[in-house]
Amino acid sequence: MYTIGELSKKTGVTIRTLDYYDEIGLLNPASTTKGGHRLYGEAELLRLEQILSLKFLGFSLDKIRYIL
């Protein structure tokens, strides 16, 4: 499991972007700690990579949400 900071460092995506993806329902954490910290697993890492690939191809976030 990765914290949001670890996921950010691993992928190069800012924490603010990950916050926004969670806010719009594009990338939700696998679980949360008792303290409310978000945790991401391998499935979420794969989904983030798919999101980034589709963004690179020029798809909007709305289209990406529809595709995924």
The 3-class SS string of 9-56 reads: HHHCCCHHHHHHHHHCCCCCCCEECCCCCEEECHHHHHHHHHHHHHHH
pLDDT score at 60: 96
- In tens, the pLDDT along 15-54 reads 999 999 999 999 999 999 999 899 999 999 999 999 999 9
pLDDT score at 2: 95
pLDDT score at 23: 95
pLDDT score at 17: 97
pLDDT score at 6: 95
pLDDT score at 65: 93
pLDDT score at 18: 96
